[in-house]
Structure 1
Amino acid sequence: MSPLPLTLRVRDVHRFRMVILTSGMQHHKKSDVYKILRPLLQEGLLVSNGPKWLKRRKILTSAFHFNVLKKYFATIQDNDKALVEYLKDAGGNPVDIISTVSGYTLNTICEATMGISLRGEVTNKSAIYKTAIYKITKYITYRFSNVYLHSDFIFNMTRLGKSQNKILSVVHDLTTSIIQQRKQSINAEEVSTIEANEGEYLGKKNRAAMLDLLISKQNEGLIDDVGIEEEVKTFMFAGHETTAACLIYTLLLLAIHPDVQNKVIEEVDYIFGKDTRDATLEDLSAMKYLDLVIKESMRLYPPVNFIMRQTTQPCKLSNFDIPANTMCAIHIYDLHRDEKIYPEPDKFRPERFLPENSAGRHNFAFIPFSAGPRNCIGQKFAMMEMKSLLSSIFRRFDVAPVTKISDNLSFSVDLVLRTTDPVYVRFIERGLHSIH
């Protein structure tokens, strides 16, 4: 495999991202190292390449059309309310937001896109799944870091390989159960409405789910049982781990920066006043400052901190000739902290993303959702979910720090940007105490 030149001028780095990320189908192939994810995700949208990826992307794009996203919103709000009640019960005591928020995002993605709730009587399944995913991602990261384990034959003979196969059965059992439950609970008319009906579903029985679309496509012969399982696994993993990471870092940053937190509270107070009504999608669109906060959080702590592509044909990068089959790594964490792009890059300043402060900034200076044909298909869903939860929290709570970034925050090597230790904050009901 031909290596990429090790030293590139800054302007060449931007050119590199443009060539690799927006070259249509020329360089959209995921690097061969992504095959390490296949035991977990099989060949779903995140891992697949070529015609299979293109076909799946076309099928799934309609599940994230704006008219369909509206149908997910009521489910997101239900989960917001459940989490707010949990935080109220905590009584202002420190809360481990890693376990709390990841539980929220896992149930939200399952209920909104799969139509199955993991709350209530099956909560234990949620905990088992999260534990299994945590262990498997550790194994995947270790395998990625040791070239001799890239071989499936060698890895499967090791203790880690055998342990991973046992844990994978837990993930397989849960996803199979979700698919079977959904197939049993819907009829042909309900399946077809995800694309045909633009009205919002407010009744629990009739709410839309991405899985409904996949089942309807199976009825048309466009996908089979294995394909549905691949995409369910992909969206359960990618749809809860990354969103949870962003919410965790955003809450921590707002707890540590009360001046920024106050601006968020002022914005939600301006929108809602003392009204306890549910938020609308129009309300979320009006949360301009919260949008800046989330972007700045993802700049500092991008949930997926690096991506890899493989060139499928030779390309030119400034004075460099890049051969086909070159593995290209884009380190998003480092890019987002480039002081030439972001002065004082380690400081939390949401105003960086105001239009007047973003003018002239390279389009690929901020890519938390990747870019080009293989950008994150669920980014609008993720932003809707994050704004909905954060606004729900700050309508009711002040958030105070327990964990301090300077003293307690360190990262582990993983697929998603994780901390090595729990992250604690306190949620103080605004009627009892206020920091602003």
Structure 2
Amino acid sequence: MLDISWSGWKWSPSLLAMTTLAGLLAGYYWVWSRSRFVRLIDALPGPKTFPLLGNVLDLLKYSTDRRLCVDWIKQNGYIFRVWIGYYPAVHVSHHELLEQILSNQNHITNPIEYKLIFPENCLGVLAGDEWRHRRRLLTPAFHFKILDGFASTMNEKSMASAAKVEEILGPSAGSKEIDVFPIMVKLAFDVLYETSMGMNTWSEQDTNTYAESLEGMEHIFMERVVRKPWLRIDWIYKFTSLYRKQMQYSSFFNNFTEKVIRERRELQKRNAAEKHSSPQPVLNNNNVDEEDMLTRPKERLALLDLLLKISEENPELDDKVIGDEISLFISAGYDSSSVAITWFLYLIAKHPEHQKLVTDELDLIFGDSDRPVTAQDLTRLKYLECCIKETLRLYPSLPLMARYLTEEVQVGDYTLPKGLTVLINIYMTHRNPEVYPDPDAFKPERFLPENCIGRHPYAFIPFSAGPRNCIGQKFAMLEIKISLANILRRLRFSHSDMSGPLEISTMQLTFKPKDNQCKLIVSKKIAQ
């Protein structure tokens, strides 16, 4: 073996190679740490960092991300930087600062980390012109006339959920403590299953499997992005058990959507053949409005049908892309509606005075009838809407979201460099005492029209804001409002600890309640 001697030391080729590599890495780190990119980020306030680790140890020692964000904001203000290993991120939680990012047409790119959880071909991961093109293609599927056509499904499923709770309560007029979250999850899935794929319902086992798979993907996302940042490196990640679990979850989602799309195409072919073989009525006007056709009860189309129709003139929407968009719609819709409904019920159970105002409003409109909620009814449910918005302020389903900067931007007193990930902290933006005095209190009156005058439009963004806002937000609000109206027409809610403070939920990617946190005392409405 060749040895290289120097001042009495003997260097083997392997030791020399390792020393050379270490020197190169140290030199690269020295140059990188003095780059303009790093200097601009470190010009922001932020928690103390450790070499190589950054702030990873801080993230690991807290039980919830919410507590950490609160502490860091108190210490550093509404804009600060953190390092997750070598990955920088800037937190922004002031409406005036985040408006400069969210309202800008050039800042519509989601960070690469979104590809770790979202389907590869969906709207959530596309950027630039690709995203704009896809958004234009999908927007007609969320037209208000089409959404109104889904109201009957939302009425039916929410009434069924209320009936399910009544069944649990039994024939007596007494009350019972019930964990409402699983029931609201089932409600959300049933609504999404029919409105997105045209199927009437799915089994409780399918619901549980789908929900567990989604939660498993969220857990993997948080592990790779926050808790174990070295797992962002694909070749390392592929040796882990998390990778094998992700493959199982992805296979489940892909097989599920492929089966549904295949069956839907076969159904469309059979319907077309039957229609062709049957005598057709003569129409007085050949120029039938397409939107009117889509909203007729007997011909109402699910989201999947609309995407298949759009794909006829847009071949880039193949079955894989359509499946990915459906998967994104279900995963996002399930969280936004089931979590919001659950937190709403929790909050009014803790605040009976507000529950009474909501139920009085419902009694005034519906009395003791069991008729479905109509579009006209929704416009009259003013206080219910205030309570929903206050719930979304306190417990937004997605407490954090992110943008990747494709160009340098000035935010307040700081210059944020191109290539940086900015974390939009919706949770803390909604709890800014400058906008919402006594920010942790449940006060629905904040959203009465007279109290909203002059409020900054980016101070309340439960579905994001700007050009890349949530395409399904109107669907979510329609479902939440109809579901809660039907549930509260038949049921009343209270909490075993009426005087205790609101509990802090566990935050993964979304803001779900802890186990048994939403066990509420439920009783039937007393007939008047």
Residue number in structure 2 paired with 1:201 = 296
Match of residue 113, structure 1, among 196, 201, 208? 196
8 Å CA contact retained: 1:304, 1:415: yes
How do 1:36-435 and structure 2 match up within 5 A?
Answer: 36-38=116-118, 41-91=119-169, 92-119=175-202, 122-145=203-226, 146-187=228-269, 195-198=290-293, 200-203=295-298, 206-220=299-313, 221-402=315-496, 406=500, 409-422=503-516, 423-431=518-526
Question: Counterpart amino acid of 1:134?
Answer: E
Q: String of CA shifts for 1:313-351, please: whole Å, max 9, x gaps.
A: 122234322221221111111111111211111110000
Question: Counterpart amino acid of 1:249?
Answer: W
Q: TM-score, normalised by structure 2?
A: 0.76
Partner SS, residue 309 of structure 1: strand
Could you say if the C-alpha distance between residues 8 and 27 of structure 1 is closer, same or farther in structure 2, counting changes exceeding 3 Å? farther
Partner SS, residue 410 of structure 2: strand
8 Å CA contact retained: 2:348, 2:493: yes
Higher mean alpha-carbon deviation, 135-144 vs 365-374, is at 135-144
Question: Counterpart amino acid of 1:300?
Answer: L
**2-structure distance, mates of 1:306, 1:212:** 32
Could you say if the C-alpha distance between residues 345 and 254 of structure 1 is closer, same or farther in structure 2, counting changes exceeding 3 Å? same
Could you say if the C-alpha distance between residues 310 and 296 of structure 1 is closer, same or farther in structure 2, counting changes exceeding 3 Å? same
Could you say if the C-alpha distance between residues 267 and 222 of structure 1 is closer, same or farther in structure 2, counting changes exceeding 3 Å? same
8 Å CA contact retained: 2:180, 2:520: yes
Unaligned runs of 5+ in 2: 1-36, 46-75, 80-91, 170-174, 276-287
Question: Counterpart amino acid of 1:175?
Answer: T
Q: Say which structure is richer in helix.
A: 1
Could you say if the C-alpha distance between residues 404 and 195 of structure 1 is closer, same or farther in structure 2, counting changes exceeding 3 Å? farther
**2-structure distance, mates of 1:404, 1:52:** 51
**2-structure distance, mates of 1:413, 1:251:** 19
**2-structure distance, mates of 1:431, 1:199:** 40
Could you say if the C-alpha distance between residues 380 and 157 of structure 1 is closer, same or farther in structure 2, counting changes exceeding 3 Å? same
Partner SS, residue 398 of structure 1: strand
Q: String of CA shifts for 1:297-316, please: whole Å, max 9, x gaps.
A: 01110110011111111222
| Structure having the higher Rg | 2
**2-structure distance, mates of 1:230, 1:172:** 8
Question: Counterpart amino acid of 2:436?
Answer: Y
How many residue pairs match? The answer is 424
Question: Counterpart amino acid of 1:393?
Answer: I
Could you say if the C-alpha distance between residues 168 and 402 of structure 1 is closer, same or farther in structure 2, counting changes exceeding 3 Å? farther
Question: Counterpart amino acid of 1:386?
Answer: I
**2-structure distance, mates of 1:408, 1:333:** 15
Could you say if the C-alpha distance between residues 42 and 117 of structure 1 is closer, same or farther in structure 2, counting changes exceeding 3 Å? farther
Could you say if the C-alpha distance between residues 9 and 389 of structure 1 is closer, same or farther in structure 2, counting changes exceeding 3 Å? closer
Could you say if the C-alpha distance between residues 250 and 367 of structure 1 is closer, same or farther in structure 2, counting changes exceeding 3 Å? same
Amino-acid identity (%): 30
How far off its partner does 1:142 sit? 1.4
8 Å CA contact retained: 2:159, 2:487: no
Question: Counterpart amino acid of 2:351?
Answer: H
Could you say if the C-alpha distance between residues 9 and 127 of structure 1 is closer, same or farther in structure 2, counting changes exceeding 3 Å? closer
Q: TM-score, normalised by structure 1?
A: 0.91
Could you say if the C-alpha distance between residues 275 and 166 of structure 1 is closer, same or farther in structure 2, counting changes exceeding 3 Å? closer
Question: Counterpart amino acid of 1:390?
Answer: L
How far off its partner does 1:152 sit? 2.2
8 Å CA contact retained: 1:299, 1:336: yes
Partner SS, residue 84 of structure 1: helix
Question: Counterpart amino acid of 1:309?
Answer: R
**1-structure distance, mates of 2:507, 2:223:** 9
Partner SS, residue 45 of structure 1: coil
**2-structure distance, mates of 1:194, 1:404:** 54
**2-structure distance, mates of 1:136, 1:297:** 26
How far off its partner does 1:31 sit? 1.7
**2-structure distance, mates of 1:183, 1:401:** 48
Q: String of CA shifts for 1:342-396, please: whole Å, max 9, x gaps.
A: 1111110000111221222211111101000111111111111111011101111
Could you say if the C-alpha distance between residues 404 and 163 of structure 1 is closer, same or farther in structure 2, counting changes exceeding 3 Å? farther
Unaligned runs of 5+ in 1: none
* Two-structure CA RMSD over aligned residues (Å): 2.4
